Structure 1
Amino acid sequence: MQTEMIRLDPENPGIEGIEKAAGLIKAGELVVFPTETVYGLGASAFDPGAVEKIYRAKGRPQDNPLIVHVSSLKMAAECTRQDLNRYSSILNVLWPGPVTLVFKKSEAIPARVTAGLDSVGLRFPSHPVAMRLIKAAGVPIAAPSANISGRPSPTSEEHVLEDMNGRVGGIILSGDTLFGLESTIVDLSRDKPTLLRPGPVDAERLGELLPGLEIPDFVRVREEYKGEALSPGMKYRHYSPEIPLILIEGSPGAVVSRAGILARRDKSVVLCSQELADYYPVHVKKVVLGSRNDLYAVASGLFKALRDRDNLNYTQIISEPFPETGIGLAIMNRLRKAAWRIDRV
């Protein structure tokens, strides 16, 4: 397939490029587009045939639901049979932004979008390109991350070209994404609000907005989830680099010691914090993701580090743990899902 490249300024996207991409969506084609979290792989949420192309392009499991992106509260209301007015105080704070909210779906959303579930994840992105594309297309856009299933999500132009060139109708090239991790997902379709996936908007803030917010064990620890996948990222291994990733969890001293032992056996890349970088062996390649006091910087570089093609020159990636406060919970959630093995020391 010939993929059309559309370059757009992330802050002031030109109308011609937006209309070109929107035309592809209207014609039932797939378009890769940037959001503030990661790049998405989009199709009209009202077109089951176009949605099916998403699953084929990604190699996505058939029971893994898609998130639907909207450009207004009016558009969101068309996608759910719940009364969004009940949640106005929450929506006014969280949208537009990097938060997906799960509601009971309306009949307008095909079962193919939700993998047969009676609920749908809705997101109102804040990225100017995403907002204008959805508005120009005139329909909600179903979009998972624009990567081959199982791989780390794409946060740069290089990533989407690597995974999606030749698989989709169009790719919008618009620089690096801001947060570098997928959206926070909260289920509001059931009796109690429940965090399904941690992300840029942290659990502490959500707890203030949603008293009684439940945080299931599968969010904080790696365990096999055996129920229905109520949202992306719940049921399958995700974010895996092309060489094995070993996550070491424990105190800083024990982590550095264990990393040194592992690195003596195999040629290693170490993902580390600024604070501990100097303590790792000199013969390993150290990738400093950022300071433990600035976890948003760590998050923004995580997937880029996991996708680095230079990693193929090494045998394994070793990662230290990061504090599970704020966006740190999302960082550790992704590392645990990506890990081939977790060593606790």
Structure 2
Amino acid sequence: MSRRIVVVTGAGAGVGRAAVEEFASAGYDVALLSREPERLERAAAQLRAAWNVRALALPVDVADAQAVEAAAERIERELGEIGVWVNIAMATVFAPVSALSARDFERATQVTYLGQVYGTMAALARMRERNRGAIVNVGSALASRAVPLQSAYCGAKFAVRGFTDALRSELIHDGLKVHLSLVDLPAVNTPQFDWAANRTGRQARPVAPVYQPDVAARAIRFAAEHRRRTLWLGWSTSRAIVADMLAPGLVDRYLARAGYRGQLTDEPRSPDAPDDLYAPVAGDFCAHGRFDDEARDGFVPLFTERHVHAAMGGAMLGLVGLAMAFVHLHRQAREHRQ
């Protein structure tokens, strides 16, 4: 291909917006998929002006499988062969389960989980024929360790992980050279905390430590270009996942105390605040949210599958050590009684 072409869902703001800028800066032509047409076209125009790339803005709700497939067809007709497809679009609701409706769960799942399924299917239908390409599904630390107040989002991200692992085995079975990556992100400074559905009465915030969306975008491009199976971004992601492997019950109790205050500020949320669960929120939002003062944008460690295996090995050694210590203490107690 004379030009590399990438498709990014959720490209209108947040991590998706940062990702299209990251790929465009590397010379990729970009297709931007999101719901809000005016913001999407502004983003595309900025990419064309800044990096002299082709940028195609396609207003699409990723929860609509036919619309996603039609977008893929148009991209290949107007730009050319899709080389990379990145699934980032998401929706969440900050609320306890008791405050959610069945429709809330349905909609969050359609966008966050099925949106990635539909994007992957559209990309794979074309990449399978050519036996090349890369698909990046964007997960979260919350795909391995769920938190209170985001049950719909956490459940959908768990589903993304299961779908990705199942499909990867199928690709290996079929001998295809299409690569599938899963990138798990930490808390990121995006506009979602201003417009996500929220039934708590208080302003939402990312759980510290917070990272800039540009950091996430670099990790996503790294996974796509270096064909990484798994990538955990940041110490906080790896700590959360490994801690849940070692002591899930303790993590349950910790999050029961800290999970609420870590996600909510003391500021009241207006009843008229925007809510993007069922319809897009208009406005000139970009990649960053309102937490620039605390968000990190320097060196952030990337843990690929090699590091993941090492971490799991360390976790297993830790469990073996605890078991041996328990046996030793039990033996000492028995000898003392005798």
The question of a shared fold, defined as TM-score above 0.5 by the shorter chain, is answered with no
Give the structure-1-normalised TM-score. Answer: 0.28
Structure (1 or 2) with the larger CA radius of gyration: 2
Q: Give the alignment's TM-score, normalised by structure 2.
A: 0.28
